[in-house]
Chains A and B, each alone.
Chain A
Amino acid sequence: MTFQIRAISIYNRDGEMRTVPFQAGSLNIITGDSRRGKSAILTIVDYCLGSDDFVIRGAALRNFVHVFALTIIKGDEQLFVARPAPVGKAATNTTFCVVSQALGAPPPDYASLTFSMPLDIAKKVLSRFTSIDLSVQLPVARSPRQLSPSVRHGLFFCLQEQNEVANQDLLFHGQMDDFHRSALRAMLPYFLGTVDPERAQLEHRLRLLRRQLAEQQERLSAARPFEHASGTAAGLHGEALEVNLLAPAPAGRLLSHNEIVDRLRQAVEAIVPGAAPPAGEDPLSVLNVARRDLRQAYSRTRVRISNLKTIAKEKDDFLGQVREQHARLATLGLLRRAHQERASQDELCPVCGSRASEAGQVARVMRRDLERLDAEMSAMGEATPDINARIVEEEAALADLRSALARNQEQIEVLSAGQRAAAQDDPQHRTAVVQGRISLFLDTMTRHAQVRVEDRREEIAIEIASLEEQLGNSAQEDLLSSHLSLVNQKIQAKAVALELEHHNDPIRLDPRALTLIADTRQGPVKMSEMGSGHNYLGYHIATMLSLHEWFNEIGSPVPRFLILDQPSQAGFPDETRGGGFGSARATLLNLYETIHASIESLAGAFQVIVLEHADLDEEPFRSAVRARWRRGNGEALVPAHWITYDSNE
């Protein structure tokens, strides 16, 4: 359920008000001469619905009108929106006055208007009044940002300015602007009802999950060093043994990280140091030996890897050679085809007639070689994956060795630091120092939250995959094209009614190019290639009406009005009232009949406002005329007595 226009009001500096009323759910025509403020109706609607700049043109309006206002109705709600003209040198005015009224109430007095609502809030209020779901985020092609639909985007489908209504290059209001074009492309699916409102939540959930996955990865990689006893812990353990804080560990196996930490905790609590230092070897030398071994293993592994790589490369070279030989031998097949028939002469040389028996033998030798090569190639090819697997294994071993070396280095550093510190101290003092360092280490370690990080990556990944599946664009694309095809049918029907060119060919609305395309036998014809202002106009009207019929069917949040500025300009002089121009009149009347039929079919849910030069005497035109602003009767949008050029402001 969205709104229609009830009235447009303007206020002058003295607080006088002029209101132009409209009827909801029907055709409203304002006819009149040029420069009487007809086109201003459209710009006032645009301005009051939150345009970013001061779109209102014309000296009379800019100089003598101070507040522009719009009364819009939705069901039994009525909203009065007023926006003042820019003051002084400002480019535009960004404060609104939005008042909720009882249905049918007249616009409030000038005195009671308070302009306090900023532009962005006003846009949100109006968007909500249009029942647009503000939580929806739509992706914009080729740009990282996302757009939320607003009432401004709805206006793409509700306004057709004088230079747009029959323009061959653009179909929608404001389409010439690049920024608008991308917004239009993004919004069209939403307004056509192909965007699931739940989609936004799903996408949001997907983003959250991706972030979670990244966090998990970080946590896991941070926790990995604790799988082995870290070098620092092992080094401190060694020191604790050195200063008799601990009994030596049972030899013959490496302590796990947790065991070492437990022992360190005991060491901190131990108060009395043991009597004699253990008669163990110096831990530093042990570590150095271990380091040498590790280094040797490391270099051995590297040599193995490079050897394997060489083997693999040689294999490749050899295979290449063998393939070449094989290919050359295989050419035998090209020559032997005729051979079978001439087996009798096989023994004779065709040139000299002498016996040349080795030819058959040569062929035999060659065939043998071929078979041998085949066998070699297959044997070689099968071995290659094994070699590659070996290389991968060895590289993993190398990485392990590298981290072991790093841990060893840490241990050595900690121990030697402890020893340096202890060199000049008595054993008591030294014990205390070691205890202090151990407790510091334990404190920092608990800060690392030694909770086992559970590996939830698997399930998160599964959830992400299923969400991506759900969000797959394919479903939306299908829905979009099916909705568009229904809209295209409506356009087609109207094209037939308006007797437009190409109405026998399938006509479709292209959501990317934002234009109409007729599929002829000679290939697709864009609207801009069709020719004749009559066609452009007809297709514009047909498209807009069809879209609005569709919007109404699905309850799309687009304002339910359409303002057309001078559809008759394309080839209809404004003296049409005189009764001449037989064919032009008939065509114009046909256009209005089409619009009227469309409004009728929607039974009051759709309003069309036409600003027109022509003034026809036939129905449905005559009864739809709401005002005639002519020079003859002195009527115009801005009352004549407002226009006072004697004021020096």
Chain B
Amino acid sequence: MTDFNALSRDERALYNPGFTGLAVVRAVQGHQTEFGTPCPVAIATLAAVMALQPMVRTALPRSTASGLHRWVQEHRAVRASMALNATAIADVVRPGLLMALQSSTLACDAEGHLHVPNKAMKKAITGGSADVIAVQKAALLLGRWLPSAGSTSTVMTLLGVRP
């Protein structure tokens, strides 16, 4: 985990923990609305990492109806992008997760699953720029969609990343 102050000014601004944390929260929200159960940390982190990559964002389907396997097969660029960037982005997502937990926008239960406490975060997605909104929407979609392919490990393997 890199020290936050060691990053450049632009990186600090673009991947600030507030923003990455927000992506995690949206993913957890998505998971909750779809499955009604708390979300595994790995899925939440993975969803946020994916949502933060423009390459992945543009490739995402419109609805959760399509199959994840087929989508990964068809969009090889997604796997490539994940292989390149996942580690670095995970480093900035973790502080975000931490901040979300600290500000109790997220809560953690005994099994290490995350959920959004009641009224901690508004459902409506708002943001100061088109990108900010797009990232949140993508995270929400991924939170609903990733677990549909099976267990967490399956999803990770599919995308070629390790926890």
Contacts and interface: CB of A to CB of B under 8 A. Distances in A.
Interface string A313-338: 00000000101111111111111111
Nearest to A350: B101
B125 to A, nearest CB: 10
A321 B132 CA distance: 12
Please classify the interface of chain B as helix (H, G, I), strand (E, B), loop, or mixed, using the class held by over half of its residues: helix
A345 to B, nearest CB: 8
A362 B128 contact: no
A334 B105 CA distance: 9
A262 to B, nearest CB: 67
B4 to A, nearest CB: 5
Contact of A362 (B9, B22, B95, B120): B95
A346 B102 contact: yes
Contact of B132 (A327, A346, A369): A327
A335 B128 contact: no
A351 interface: yes
A117 B132 CA distance: 82
Contacts of B98: 349, 351, 356, 359
Contacts of A334: 18, 22, 105, 121-122
Interface in B98-120: 98-105, 108, 120
A111 interface: no
A333 to B, nearest CB: 8
Interface residues of B, number: 33
A373 interface: yes
Contacts of A358: 4
A350 B14 contact: no
Contact of B12 (A331, A350, A369): A369
Given A349-B102, A362-B95, A329 B108 contact: no
A365 interface: yes
Given A324-B14, A332-B18, A362 B108 contact: no
B14 A359 contact: no
A338 B106 CA distance: 10
Contacts of B108: 350-351
Interface string B130-153: 011000000000000000000000
A331 B19 contact: yes
A339 interface: yes
Contact of A342 (B10, B18, B99, B103): B103
Contacts of A359: 98-99, 102
Interface string A355-388: 0101100110110010001000000000000000
B13 A362 contact: no
* A: contact size bracket: 20 to 34
Nearest to B132: A327
B17 interface: yes
Contacts of B18: 328-329, 331-336, 363, 366
Contacts of B95: 362
A336 to B, nearest CB: 6
A372 to B, nearest CB: 8
Interface in B1-41: 4-5, 9-10, 12-19, 21-22, 25
Contacts of B10: 321, 325
A366 B12 contact: yes
A327 B132 CA distance: 7
Interface string A399-419: 000000000000000000000
A25 B101 CA distance: 95
Contacts of B131: 324, 327-328
A329 B102 contact: no
Interface of A: 321, 323-339, 342, 345-346, 349-351, 356, 358-359, 362-363, 365-366, 369, 373
Given A329-B13, A350-B104, A351-B98, 20 more contacts: A325-B13, A327-B128, A328-B13, A329-B19, A331-B16, A332-B19, A334-B22, A335-B18, A335-B103, A335-B105, A336-B103, A337-B103, A339-B102, A350-B108, A359-B99, A359-B102, A362-B99, A363-B18, A369-B9, A373-B13
Interface of B: 4-5, 9-10, 12-19, 21-22, 25, 95, 98-105, 108, 120-122, 127-129, 131-132
